[in-house]
């Protein structure tokens, strides 16, 4: 490809409109659109209690990101508070825990910040698997 030829961008389900997508022009995706997509997972009949727990944890972490608007942070807090009365005990527990966590204010950003990737050790995984994973990380410039 020469410099004048536009480079294709990775398609995103959020950037698709009625099955059509402009590959040459990437569009901006708002935090509201991302939250709508994630919340749609909660409403899915295929989402079991474990998936719902992961979604609740994900949107709780999303609420502490600086890119999430205050309106969406409030929307997340309201949504999570609604799950504190869920009939499923595991979901209810996550709703109560995450609601209390979001009420902590500035402390929540420290608790919900990104975690570094764990350091792989040969003694934990066995030497053969350790070498394979370490080589894969080096190939993909992850570590």
| pLDDT tens digits, 102-120 | 888 777 777 787 777 777 6
Residues 6+ apart with CB under 8 A from 52: 42, 88, 91
Residue with tokens 């080589």: 135
The pTM is what?
Answer: 0.62
Q: Which residue has the higher pLDDT, 33 or 129?
A: 33
Tell me the domain boundaries of the chain: 31-112, 117-143
Residue with tokens 């890119």: 67
* Average pLDDT for 12-31: 61
Q: Residues 101, 59: contact at Cβ < 8 Å?
A: no
What's the pLDDT band for 93 if we cut at 50, 70, 90? very high
| pLDDT tens digits, 118-140 | 776 655 555 566 666 767 767 66
Residue 104 is predicted with a pLDDT of: 84
């Amino acid at each position: 490809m020469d410099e004048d030829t536009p480079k294709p961008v990775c398609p995103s389900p959020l950037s698709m409109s009625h099955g059509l997508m402009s590959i040459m022009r990437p569009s901006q995706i708002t935090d509201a659109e991302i939250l709508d997509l994630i919340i749609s997972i909660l409403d899915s009949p295929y989402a079991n209690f474990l998936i719902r727990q992961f979604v609740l944890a994900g949107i709780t972490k999303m609420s502490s990101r600086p890119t999430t608007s205050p309106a969406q942070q409030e929307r997340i807090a309201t949504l999570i508070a609604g799950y504190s009365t869920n009939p499923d005990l595991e979901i209810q527990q996550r709703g109560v825990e995450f609601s209390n966590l979001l009420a902590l204010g500035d402390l929540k950003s420290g608790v919900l910040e990104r975690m570094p990737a764990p350091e792989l050790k040969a003694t934990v995984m066995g030497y053969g698997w350790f070498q394979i994973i370490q080589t894969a990380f080096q190939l993909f410039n992850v570590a």
